Structure 1
Amino acid sequence: MFKKFCLLSLLLAFSACKQSQVTLNAIEGSQLAITDSLPQNQQVLDYIAPFKKYITEEMSAVLAYAPQSHSKTEGPYNTAIGNMMADAVFELSNPIFKSRTGHEIDGVLLNHGGIRSTLNAGDVTMRTAYDIMPFENSIIVVELTADKVRDMFNYLKSGKAHPIANMQLVLGEDDSIVKATVNGKPVEDGKTYFIATNDYLRQGGDGMVFFADPVSENVLNYKVRSVLIDYFKEKDTIAPVRDNRFIKE
């Protein structure tokens, strides 16, 4: 009898709780514009001042010098700034990849849209690297079959100046492929190639679906922006050039 009484009490309590539930009828809000009219909090300003000073000094640190300005609009197939980025990735990522796998990187492919600023003449600073590459994209080396590499070259036939390194693509007047090489050699059937790219493109960004389902992949945990910073530190003068790595006859 006591058990039945307890059970009945619990049911009544549960029923009472359900009946007292509050339901949401409406949501109201207002927009608070952040303008110069809002008063500044001096305590907050004083607190962040040393951090702001440190960051400003770090971002303004001179790493190298550029005699000329370079933009990603300089050419329809390859640009000096794009070549610089691809070469930097190749030079600095290859030793890391080789130490981990025993293999060499065969080529590099980045995306034209990933270049977000010009390389301005004058001092090259930490801020320069952040301006050119503000994203958090990291380097991934994917192992592609010969067919996938050919798909990659066919994708590049669109003529956009996507940065490449250690590869050459020559197009004819009708946009047909006249020459396509990796490491100075034509693509060989039955062989696989290690192509360095970034994680955005590895996921099919910019329509680069040929990176899907690679034979293998290796995440270097090395951001493209960090590559640029290290590259600038290694070079006294940054003077990239346009060349014949990607041209149309």
Structure 2
Amino acid sequence: MIRLLRPAAAGFVALLLATACQRGPLTATAHLPSTATSQPVGSAIVPDAGADAIIKPYHDKVLAQMQEVLGVAPVALSKNAGENLIVNFVADLQRTAAAQALHEPIALGVMTNGGMRAPLPAGPITLGNVFELMPFENELMVLDAPGPVVQQLFDYAAPVRMAISGATYTVGPDKRPLDIRIGGQPLDPTKTYSIAISDYLAGGGDNMAFLKTVVPRHTGLLLRTAIADHIRVLTKAGKPVTASIEGRVK
């Protein structure tokens, strides 16, 4: 049986291979069985001792990197239905990181529950925890979305009560968004609003196909790196890793 890597494991292997490739290409051989059998695929593969010897130093280095403590969270930043701590935390830092990268204010930050794979636990937050949260090589991007597309964003968010950084709204009886306010002002359909978002969501991921009509601007920053750097900045300033439920969705 072929086993696929879990997302966090895939990110771990990606970092391991990237570390190894700094020293040049890695070649390895495996001794395959000469005839087909009923055994699971790969069960008769003999590990190559030479390859193991080459990989081990990088494996150990990556393990040490994963154990780096970036900060401390007094309580877990959990992921649950509706407005939640981890979405608020990540969506907010996306706006901050994108604003710093592009040297301009960013109106909105968007992250979905599906765009993240794990909460951040209470206690020490390690780089490994950030890899578990965001195991993919997603880039932080900015969409300059016209008012009608932003309206579609809130239409998408309202049925699941998804919070959006930089905005508040009320969910009506028919699960439609009401009283949408961005930066405290009513949504203006004639305006264009900047949105900090992952390339996955900008490309229509999580059923957000309506965003594909907007050409993204690149920040050149991996979202995972933005998260780790933000936590480091908090720690350097003597601040804990926290978020709060602010009533962004009413």
State the TM-score, normalized to the length of structure 2: 0.77
Which secondary structure state, in structure 2, belongs to the residue aligned with residue 181 of structure 1? strand
Q: Percent identity?
A: 25
Higher mean Cα deviation, 82-91 or 181-190?
A: 181-190
Separation of aligned partners in 2, 1:113 and 1:130: 15
Separation of aligned partners in 2, 1:127 and 1:174: 41
Separation of aligned partners in 1, 2:201 and 2:241: 26
Which secondary structure state, in structure 2, belongs to the residue aligned with residue 228 of structure 1? helix
Which secondary structure state, in structure 2, belongs to the residue aligned with residue 154 of structure 1? helix
Separation of aligned partners in 1, 2:227 and 2:204: 23
One-letter amino acid of the counterpart of residue 172, structure 2? G
| 1:175 corresponds to | 175
One-letter amino acid of the counterpart of residue 247, structure 2? N
Q: Over the residues paired in the alignment, what is the CA RMSD in angstroms?
A: 2.1
Which runs of no fewer than 5 residues in structure 2 stay unpaired? 1-34
Structure 1 position 78 matched with structure 2 position 88: no
| 2:17 corresponds to | none
Separation of aligned partners in 2, 1:122 and 1:39: 41
Aligned length: 211
Q: 1:43 to 1:79 in 2, by over 3 A?
A: same
Which runs of no fewer than 5 residues in structure 1 stay unpaired? 1-27
| 1:45 corresponds to | 52
| 2:132 corresponds to | 131
| 2:95 corresponds to | 90
Higher mean Cα deviation, 149-158 or 53-62?
A: 149-158
Q: 1:58 to 1:89 in 2, by over 3 A?
A: same
Q: If you compute each CA radius of gyration, which structure gives the higher value, 1 or 2?
A: 1
Q: 1:190 to 1:173 in 2, by over 3 A?
A: closer
Separation of aligned partners in 1, 2:207 and 2:52: 45
Q: 1:123 to 1:145 in 2, by over 3 A?
A: same
How far residue 58 of structure 1 moved from its aligned partner, in angstroms, is 0.7
CA contact (8 A) 2:167 2:180 kept: yes
State the TM-score, normalized to the length of structure 1: 0.77
